[in-house]
Amino acid sequence: MRIIKEAEERKNEILDVAERLFGSKGFDNTSTNDILNEIGIARGTLYYHFKSKEEILDAMIDRMMKRLIEKAREIVSQKDVPVLQRLTMMMLSLHVSEGNFNQEILEQVHKPQNALMHQKMQERLLAGITPLITALIREGIAQGICQTDYPEEAVEMTFLYVNVAFDDLMEQSEEEKQKKIAAFIYHLERILQMKEGSMKEAIMPLFHKQRMPGSASHPYVK
């Protein structure tokens, strides 16, 4: 007897299986037939929820990023915690050390053949996190901690720099990496017109944790 499931339950089942298969086989090497066979459903049922494998990928990444961003949003809303401390807590919450994400899929994301998945995760995370960090910067401005007329643009510039400077695909010695970290903090403080050394305590912990979804190994998005 065919098991009829509620639409949302079936949709999540498809995403669960796709996430597992994309993680173990890679996006390009997983076919819709693989997903169908794993679940045991007809092709029409799959296409009722998703028109293509690309659409499955979009929904899967959206689901992962929504969980991640909601966790970060909860931290930002804790107004009783100092601004810079919330910044550190929020960024640390984006790391995947707590086992909330499929480790295999994170490895697959950084393989050349899965560039599309990498790009989509990066876009989703940036879109969700940029407003949260911008809100913290605005609080910092209101409290006299920092100053900039372009808080959102400052966040975007920071992400763009970090994506390149701390990509593990770049060959650099530990000494070079530490110099880049020091330079990053130095210039970030100047972009935000902060006292020298004031961001060090907030930023340094981010370079000593496991990576975030979408990142090569550094604590931001790549």
Q: Which residues contact 4 (CB under 8 A, 6 or more apart)?
A: none
Q: Is residue 153 assigned to a domain? A: yes
Q: What is the pLDDT of residue 222?
A: 41
Q: What is the pLDDT of residue 85?
A: 96
pLDDT tens, 85-137?
999 999 888 875 444 566 666 666 677 777 777 777 778 888 899 999 999 99
Average pLDDT over residues 153-169: 81
**Looking at residue 75, which CATH number applies to its domain?**
1.10.357
Q: Exposed, middle or buried, 91 (CB in 10 Å: 0-12/13-18/19+)?
A: buried
Q: Is residue 20 assigned to a domain? A: no
Q: Quote the Cα angle for 160-100-117, to 5°.
A: 45
Residue type, 10: R
pLDDT tens, 28-81?
889 999 999 999 999 999 999 999 988 998 888 888 888 889 999 999 999 999
pTM: 0.75
> What is the domain extent for residue 165?
65-208
Q: Could you give phi then psi for residue 23, rounded to 5 degrees? A: -70, -40
Q: Are 81 and 193 in contact (CB under 8 A)?
A: no
Q: Is residue 22 assigned to a domain? A: no
Number of structural domains, the chain?
Answer: 1
Q: Is residue 15 assigned to a domain? A: no
Q: What is the pLDDT of residue 97?
A: 47
Q: Which residues contact 204 (CB under 8 A, 6 or more apart)?
A: 181, 185
